[in-house]
Amino acid sequence: AMKVGDFIEDTYKTFNGEIVAIVRGVITEVFEDRNIKVIKYHCSQIHYSDSDSTVSMLGQVVQRNARTCTVLSEYGGKVV
């Protein structure tokens, strides 16, 4: 289960499944919204990006469906 402090990788895809960005970050919050597990994470790395708009995410807090994210390591990052 994902928890606050986990270092995660988040993959952004287009509707046809093309990967446009892979970002990494540290989970700051985990909560359920209408039976969907949602996380907030602090974007600390851009591992891959096809678009300039993704690069501006660095340092931002992102809210996402937890299903789109993979835990890379437990308590792997620093939350600012």
Per residue in 17-43, pLDDT tens?
999 999 999 999 999 989 999 999 999
- Stronger pLDDT, 54 or 13, i.e. the higher one: 13
The yes-or-no verdict on residue 53 having pLDDT over 90 is no
Length of the chain: 80
Give yes or no for a contact between 28 and 4, defined as CB atoms under 8 angstroms apart: yes
Burial label, 69 (beta-carbon count in 10 A; 0-12, 13-18, 19+): buried
φ, ψ at 53 (rounded to 5°) = -65, -30
For position 29, what pLDDT does the model report?
Answer: 96
User: How much is the mean pLDDT over the chain?
Assistant: 90
Asked if residues 39 and 10 have their Cβ atoms less than 8 Å apart, the reply is: no
pTM: 0.85
pLDDT at position 73 is 87
The two tokens of residue 44 are 């600390």
